[in-house]
Every structure is written in structure tokens, then in C-alpha cells.
Structure 1
């Protein structure tokens, strides 16, 4: 099972995107767990999840979080603002899957 988490200021707006990503995963018959966490929980979440996607509003943490994740051999990326703004679960899930394959 792949485990993906989204990270934003409070974990609220990303919760909507998580639901859309879960719907896409269901239609594709993918075994994934997707969750949303606030910034403060990144260090704990990256321990148990495979990948993190950052909301555009917290993109300023990308370099720090990438370094922390790299030490655990894990990936972090920022969600494209357009994908996030449109709450496009399909494109967000595709981005996560591409990172996992990289």
C-alpha cells in the first residue's frame, strides 16, 4: 500500500483535495492511504508515509522538508497552484505516483 500525505497550513483545505484523490484512487483500483496534516505534523507524518505533497501556501517549506525526507529516502513536492486551486484530485494523485516511481 502506498501512503501519501498532503501538508498545508492547518490541514483543512487539503482535506478536500484528499477526498478527490481518494475518489480517483478508488476508480483506478489503487491501494493507497491519503491523509492531510498541518505543517507542525510533517516530521511525524514523514516517518510513516511514503510521500508528501505540499499545498502552494506552504511551498516556502519545500527545501527544508525535502532535506528531512531525503534522510529517510522519501520524496516531497509542491502541488501545482492550478491543480490545487481546481481541487484536481486526479492530477494531484498522478503527481504523487510519478514521484513514487522516480
Structure 2
């Protein structure tokens, strides 16, 4: 099972998106779980994730988050258009691509 962590300012705006990502993965028969936390809770939880996606509202923190997780897993800001349209399939596809890509 792959784990996708969505991080945003308070963890609320990404909660709905997580439900959509989980439903999209289930419909496609992919073993994935997506979950959301506020950025302030990152240190205690990031080890559970295979990839970290950052909400567009805090995309400016992406580099800082990469440092905070010691570049131990992929970290990327969510495409704001996909986020705004709640395009769970596109976000899921990007997360899966990041999980399988070599770390940089």
C-alpha cells in the first residue's frame, strides 16, 4: 500500500481532496491511501508517507519541507489547477509518478 501525504495550512482544505484521491485509487484498483495534515504537524508524521504533496496555498514552503524531511521522500506542490478543480485522478497520477521516480 502506497501512502500519499497532503500538507496544507490547516489540513482542512486537503481533507476533501484526500477522500476523492482515495475513491479514485479504489475505482482504479490501486492500493493507495491519501491523508492530510497541517504543515505544523509534519515532523511527527512524514515518515508514514511515500510522497508528500504540498497544497498550493503553501507551495512557497516546498523547499523548506524538503529540507525538514531530509530529502528522504519526494515532495512537490500540487498543481493549483488540479487542486482547484479537485482533479483527484491527475493528482493521484502525479503522486504515483513521484513515488516511482528516483529521488533527486
Q: TM-score range by the shorter chain?
A: over 0.9
Residue in 2 that maps onto 1:88: 87
TM-score by length of 2: 0.91
Counterpart of 1:98 in structure 2 is: 97
RMSD of Structure 2 on Structure 1 (CA): 1.1
Deviation at 1:75, TM superposition (A): 0.8
Q: 1:8-60 deviations in whole A, cap 9, x for unaligned? A: 01111101111110111001111112101001111122111111100100111
1:60 aligns with 2:60: yes
Q: Which residue matches 1:28?
A: 28
Question: Residue 51 in 1 paired to residue 51 in 2?
Answer: yes
Gaps of 5+ in 2: none
Aligned residue for 1:87, secondary structure, equals coil
Judging changes above 3 Å, is the alpha-carbon distance between structure 1 residues 72 and 56 closer, same or farther for their aligned structure 2 residues? Answer: closer
- How many residue pairs match? The answer is 101
Aligned mates of 2:90, 2:78 — CA distance in 1 = 9
Query: 3-state DSSP class of the match of 2:76?
Result: strand
Q: Residue deviations 1:54-93, cap 9 Å, x none? A: 0100111100111233x26211100011000001110111
How far apart are the structure 2 equivalents of 1:20 and 1:66?
25
TM-score (norm: length of structure 1):
0.93
